[in-house]
Amino acid sequence: MTKAIVYKFGGASVKDASAIKNLHRVLLNRLQSKMVVIISAMGKTTNSLEEILRLKYDQKDYYSNCAILRKNHLAICSELFEEQNPIFSIVENLFLQLERDLEQALHKDNYDQYYDRIVSYGEVLSTKIIHAYLCEQNFFCIWQDARELIVTDESFRSAKVNWSLTAKECKRQLEEKLRKFPVITQGFIGASASGKCTTLGREGSDFSAAIIAHSLRAKSVTIWKDVPGVLNADPKRFADTVKFDRIDYREAAEMTYYGASVIHPKTIKPLANLKIPLHVRSFIEPEGKGTIIGDFPEERHAVPTIVVKGQQVLVTFEVTDFTFISESHIHQVYAELERLRLGVNMLQTSAISISICVNEELFKLEQLVDEMSVHFKVRYNDGLQLMTVKNYNESAKNQFLGREGILMEQTTRSTIQLVYKA
Ligand code: ASP
Ligand code: MG
């Protein structure tokens, strides 16, 4: 039995009409049986929907933002379709529904649920438009609502997947359809067992691809990006980046943990568990080989991997009574971090203090400082960056350890980490 293949296209790959035409070409040249195509919202649509929600929450006028979003989607349609195409009324209709949903009252305590319902329109709009366009070009495919595939709990905005129900629904909904046509569906969104719309967290479409691939025991997943593959560093920050041809699952998972944004951190595990290869390829140069992430435990890279994570805060907890730092102090700090669900990116202890580097989540940081000030003298610096250099060599060591503005550094056998003022 042929296994399915899963493709994922992010927002940048469908940001305008010419990008969508390009997507069509990429698919057409690779048409094969049993394709699932997962698509994000177009361009920065999710950000725009978040902005609309923020305005609504602050009881400001969000209507003109809605109008701009609607106009942008319709303008893309005008470039792709003849005037009388039914897609125009489909899009108009979705915007009417969105506006109607926005008219409903928004309370502080149901904000996350409301958020999921509103931002999901981005993915529904893009997949409706692209599905219609592909069919119009005689690339016949089936539109599938991802909320019928991905079953989650009700932790809105970062929903947890119910893997067994999801596998059941994916098989039930997709196997038959895939025997006939490729299926187009949305990334990022799912639904709880009782039918409430949920989302998997920002940039979650990569994870959607992995969930569906895992559920169908697919042959492979390909994430189509605007870079030639996985590079050893962000080309926007560093010159002379190198593309990796192959990366072991474990290495890739670590890269995402340290903040490499090329793939969503949750994507690797469901694929690695079933040894499903993950390809990262360029939609700009689709003939390029890209990177394969797979089971390559022997793979050694000749160049170090550099990951920079912004918006970091360095918090130092200092004992006030001349005791030395002990396990119980660390326990105290970590218990509070767990309560706030704030992950530590780097930790260092000294005789009288504990320092941690965490993501800048203002509201949580305030609570952390307040709570801990009872037991410690707490200081913090914000607006920092955390750089991780994996598999470093002498020249990387010289280059990075000497840099200015370092507030905390750590060197292990394989990794250098630095927290510094950006
Ligand atoms: N559209 C969502 C976002 O921008 C999900 C994704 O693109 O992966 O976060
Ligand atoms: Mg995206």
Rounded distance between C-alpha atoms, residue 186 and residue 119, angstroms: 12
Other Cβ atoms closer than 10 A to 47: 14
Other Cβ atoms closer than 10 A to 159: 25
Q: In what order do the strands lie in the sheet with 189-192?
A: 151-152, 189-192, 197-199
pLDDT digits (tens, 9 = 90+) for 177-196: 999 999 999 999 999 999 99
Q: Are 118 and 52 in contact (CB under 8 A)?
A: yes
Inter-axis angle of helices 45-57 and 63-80, nearest 10: 160
- In words, the CATH class of domain 305-421 is alpha beta
Q: 64 CA to middle of ligand 1, Å?
A: 22
> Would you state the pLDDT for residue 391?
93
Residue 29 token pair: 């040249």
Residue 124 CB-half CA count within 13 A: 22
> Would you state the pLDDT for residue 112?
93
Residue 309 token pair: 């994570």
Mean pLDDT over the full length of the chain:
96
pLDDT of residue 58 exceeding 80, the answer is: yes
Q: 304 CA to middle of ligand 2, Å?
A: 26
Which DSSP string corresponds to 55-94?
HHHTT---HHHHHHHHHHHHHHHHHHS-TT-THHHHHHHH
Q: 415 CA to middle of ligand 1, Å?
A: 30
User: What is the rounded (10 degree) CA torsion for 340, 344, 348, 350?
Assistant: 0
- Give the closest residue (by CA) to ligand 1 atom 8: 203
Band of residue 403 on the pLDDT scale cut at 50, 70, 90: confident
Which residue pairs, CB below 8 angstroms and at least 24 apart, start in 375-380?
375/317, 375/329, 375/332, 376/317, 376/318, 376/319, 376/320, 376/329, 376/333, 377/317, 377/318, 377/319, 377/320, 378/315, 378/316, 378/317, 378/318, 379/315, 379/316, 379/318, 380/313, 380/314, 380/315, 380/316
pLDDT digits (tens, 9 = 90+) for 234-287: 998 999 999 999 999 999 999 999 989 899 999 999 999 999 999 999 999 999
Residue 414 CB-half CA count within 13 A: 8
Nearest to 32 by CA among 69, 70, 2, 53: 2
pLDDT of residue 362 exceeding 80, the answer is: no
Dihedral-angle region of residue 231 (phi above 0 means left; psi in -120 to 50 means alpha; beta otherwise): beta
Regarding the beta carbon of 188 and ligand 1, being less than 6 Å apart is answered: yes
pLDDT digits (tens, 9 = 90+) for 129-179: 999 999 999 999 999 999 999 999 999 999 999 999 999 999 999 999 999
Q: 369 CA to middle of ligand 1, Å?
A: 32
Q: 10 CA to middle of ligand 2, Å?
A: 5
Is 305-421 in the same CATH topology as 5-225?
no
> Would you state the pLDDT for residue 332?
95
Residue 70 token pair: 């609607």
As a whole-number percent, the residues of the chain with pLDDT over 70 amount to 100
pLDDT of residue 302 exceeding 90, the answer is: no
Q: What is the pTM of this model?
A: 0.92
Identify which of 39, 40, 262 to mutate to test ligand 1's pocket (most ligand atoms within 8 A of the CB). Answer: 40
pLDDT of residue 11 exceeding 90, the answer is: yes
Regarding the beta carbon of 305 and ligand 1, being less than 6 Å apart is answered: no
Q: Yes or no: is domain 5-225 CATH 3.40.50.2300?
A: no
Compute the chain's Rg from CA coordinates.
23
Looking at all shown ligands, the one closest to residue 126's CA atom is 1
Regarding the beta carbon of 10 and ligand 1, being less than 6 Å apart is answered: yes
Residue 321 token pair: 């009574």
> Would you state the pLDDT for residue 108?
81
Looking at all shown ligands, the one closest to residue 40's CA atom is 1
DSSP state of 14: G
Domain ranges of the chain: 5-225, 305-421
Rounded distance between C-alpha atoms, residue 49 and residue 101, angstroms: 12
Across 110-114, 221-225, 244-248, least confident range: 110-114
pLDDT digits (tens, 9 = 90+) for 68-85: 999 999 999 999 999 999
